[in-house]
Homo-oligomer: A and B are copies of this chain.
């Protein structure tokens, strides 16, 4: 809603689309939300949405405020080195949190999801669709989603203690040290037989 009578500029159009996208994605989830519906809410043509965001996935990422391309991260993660996946997952996670651009963006995202219901719904939808979906095939087939989420919980918990609450010594621990501790536990979630079995 422009406050003057002038035609809204690109910045305002972009943010109107983002607002509409946040509302729709949070309310209906990723799959049930259409570019066309968002475009209609924002009173623009679907082509305008594509012009700004490239694709529905790109729009989703921008709406959530996610600071890197999950498809690229997946490529790096699955193509690299002979280390066990648990180790590579931990390494990649800590590197994104350490990075001066992506780190603060991830912290802001987590903060707002923990204090705002719509932001939580958006982030929930995003991680399920854009992150967990990409690694699930690498986890054992029984209770796969729970395994992925337990591994994610370990990593997110470290980000909370290390980057948000800044507890010592975990806050100053070198990444290699954290990876060495955490990697084997992530591997256990990924591959062990059922805990009671």
Contact = CB atoms under 8 A, between A and B. Distances in A.
Interface residues of A, number: 44
Contacts of A114: 110-111, 114-115, 160, 164-165
Number of copies: 2
A164 B115 CA distance: 9
B180 A161 contact: no
B169 A195 contact: no
Interface in A64-111: 110-111
A153 B158 contact: yes
A120 interface: yes
A161 B149 contact: yes
A interface, over-half SS:
helix
A166 interface: yes
B165 A120 contact: yes
B111 A165 contact: no
Nearest to A146: B169
Interface string A173-187: 100011011111100
Given A120-B164, A120-B166, 12 more contacts: A111-B114, A114-B114, A120-B165, A128-B167, A145-B170, A149-B169, A152-B157, A152-B161, A153-B154, A153-B161, A154-B157, A156-B161
